């Protein structure tokens, strides 16, 4: 049995902070792709202060020189927060797996940009660091996304479908030919951006959204965005959310609570449509014996989850435990790193559309 102690780092598009998760993985000695057991020991979110939030939000507008300087500086910052986290652990980790922060994602041009230099992190920590998980898949013609289905396959395989509600939402559905998964739309970053109009970071439990009323014309406009009609494989970048989706919901002619309410119903409707589209294409029957597991920060939004539960019937909704909700994506990166360390595929070609399964990730050795 091969055992690895790994810290995963994920910086989501909602810009709430960097999520760190310390995990251990035990793989079969004769099959390094077979995960026997895993444990999420500890997770923490290091919030971005206002300065970092603004710099990361503005990163797409930077010149090449400025962006590369930010790439290095963010890597050094990640190294510092990881150093503090690692110093508090009871054992030395084997390596760190960092997703970094996505600035650009253009699968039609086979390119993606995650900043937070892994070499800079390794230089601070003197521990091997793996980053750049998406690029090999994209070089093989894939979308490089979503990554979450890897966790769904290894951690949550008993579920019919898994939904990750981060800054962007993505869904994984188990079929006879493997997992079908794709990005559904914007998620927390849209809700949070609306809440910032009144100086709040998020709508706790969806309480304000619950008080609102549906705006049919707004929901119809959001549902009509061309991305929703595309067939998978498909994935989204933050630029799509900022340029096409968010402006619809920043129309202050409508009350904030009504826009929040409408957006939750829009999300729920698109998630349900995604389930039904895959079921039809794969000739699956949806029943009340099937469960959809919700993780990611949106799992803390009770009103949003109620909307989804009603929309996906007869499929039943289950909300993951609080640690999984908060740190699933960071644990996912730790898993992707553990597979990369053993030279095993860590992206799923039925999900991304790549020509073959990719072993994604660049290793930066320490010393």
Collapsed DSSP state (helix, strand, coil) of residue 24: strand
CA angle 278, 281, 287 (to 5 degrees): 55
**Close Cβ partners of 336 (under 8 Å, ≥ 6 residues apart):** 8, 97, 130, 133, 147, 150, 346, 360, 361
How confident is the model at residue 367, as a pLDDT?
A: 65
215 token code pair: 């705006």
Dist. CA 70–CA 19, nearest whole Å: 19
Q: How far is CA 248 from CA 174, 179, 215, in A?
A: 33, 32, 12
338 token code pair: 């553990």
Of residues 102, 107, 129, 112, the one with CA closest to residue 15:
102
How confident is the model at residue 239, as a pLDDT?
A: 85
Along the chain (367 residues), what's the average pLDDT of each consecutive run of 10 residues?
Answer: 95 89 96 95 96 95 97 98 98 98 92 96 97 96 93 95 94 92 94 96 96 98 96 89 94 97 98 97 96 95 98 98 95 98 95 95 90
Collapsed DSSP state (helix, strand, coil) of residue 98: strand
Question: Could you tell me if 290 and 267 are in contact, meaning their C-beta atoms sit under 8 angstroms apart?
Answer: no
Question: Could you tell me if 218 and 225 are in contact, meaning their C-beta atoms sit under 8 angstroms apart?
Answer: no
Of residues 36, 116, 37, the one with CA closest to residue 81:
116
Dist. CA 122–CA 142, nearest whole Å: 28
Can you say how many angstroms the Cα of residue 213 is from the centroid of all Cα atoms in its chain? Answer: 29
Of residues 323, 317, 299, 327, the one with CA closest to residue 205:
299
Question: Could you tell me if 167 and 145 are in contact, meaning their C-beta atoms sit under 8 angstroms apart?
Answer: no
Dist. CA 316–CA 160, nearest whole Å: 10
Instruction: Tell me whether residue 53 is exposed, middle or buried, using C-beta atoms within 10 angstroms of its C-beta: 0 to 12, 13 to 18, 19 or more.
Output: middle
Per-position b or e across 106-135, b if 16+ CB within 10 A of its CB: ebeeeebbbbbbbebbbbbbebbbbbbbbb
Cross-strand partners of 19 = 10, 45
Q: How far is CA 48 from CA 71, 195, 292, 331, in A?
A: 15, 17, 31, 20
Instruction: Tell me whether residue 350 is exposed, middle or buried, using C-beta atoms within 10 angstroms of its C-beta: 0 to 12, 13 to 18, 19 or more.
Output: middle
What helix, strand, coil percent values describe the chain, rounded to 5?
45, 25, 30
The H-assigned helical ranges of the chain are 50-57, 64-87, 118-125, 135-139, 149-155, 188-195, 207-210, 216-223, 238-240, 246-249, 256-281, 302-311, 322-341, 349-352
Can you say how many angstroms the Cα of residue 25 is from the centroid of all Cα atoms in its chain? Answer: 21
Instruction: Tell me whether residue 213 is exposed, middle or buried, using C-beta atoms within 10 angstroms of its C-beta: 0 to 12, 13 to 18, 19 or more.
Output: exposed
**Close Cβ partners of 280 (under 8 Å, ≥ 6 residues apart):** none
Dist. CA 258–CA 254, nearest whole Å: 7
Q: How far is CA 58 from CA 14, 170, 215, 296, in A?
A: 13, 24, 31, 24
Of residues 152, 166, 298, 138, the one with CA closest to residue 233:
138
């Amino acid at each position: 049995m091969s055992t690895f102690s790994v810290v995963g780092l994920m910086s989501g598009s909602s810009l709430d902070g960097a999520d760190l998760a310390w995990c251990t993985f035990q793989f079969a000695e004769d099959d390094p792709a077979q995960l026997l057991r895993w444990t999420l020991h500890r997770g923490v979110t290091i919030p971005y202060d206002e300065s970092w939030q603004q710099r990361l939000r503005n990163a797409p507008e930077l010149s090449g020189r400025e962006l590369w300087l930010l790439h290095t500086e963010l890597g050094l910052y990640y190294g510092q927060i990881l150093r503090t986290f690692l110093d508090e652990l009871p054992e030395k980790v084997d390596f760190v797996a960092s997703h970094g922060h996505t600035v650009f994602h253009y699968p039609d041009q086979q390119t993606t940009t995650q900043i937070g230099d892994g070499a800079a992190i390794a230089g601070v920590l003197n521990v091997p660091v793996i980053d750049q998980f998406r690029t090999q898949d994209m070089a093989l013609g894939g979308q490089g996304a979503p990554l979450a289905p890897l966790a769904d396959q290894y951690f949550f395989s008993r579920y019919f479908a898994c939904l990750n509600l981060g800054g962007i939402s993505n869904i994984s559905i188990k079929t006879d030919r493997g997992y079908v998964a794709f990005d559904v739309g914007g998620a927390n970053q849209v809700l949070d951006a609306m809440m910032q109009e009144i100086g709040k970071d998020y709508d706790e439990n969806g309480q304000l959204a619950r008080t609102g009323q549906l705006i049919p014309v707004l929901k119809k406009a959001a549902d009509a965005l061309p991305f929703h009609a595309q067939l998978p494989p498909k994935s989204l970048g933050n630029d799509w959310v900022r340029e096409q989706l968010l402006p619809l919901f920043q129309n202050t002619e409508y009350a904030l609570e009504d826009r929040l309410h409408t957006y939750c119903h829009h999300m729920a409707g698109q998630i349900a449509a995604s389930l039904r589209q895959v079921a039809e294409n794969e000739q699956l029957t949806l029943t009340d014996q099937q469960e959809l597991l919700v993780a990611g920060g949106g799992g803390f939004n009770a009103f949003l989850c109620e909307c989804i539960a009603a929309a996906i019937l007869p499929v039943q909704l289950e909300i993951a435990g609080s640690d999984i909700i908060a740190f699933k994506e960071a644990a996912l990166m730790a898993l992707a790193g553990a597979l990369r360390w053993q030279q095993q595929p860590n992206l799923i070609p039925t999900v991304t559309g790549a020509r073959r399964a990719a072993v994604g990730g660049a290793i930066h050795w320490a010393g």
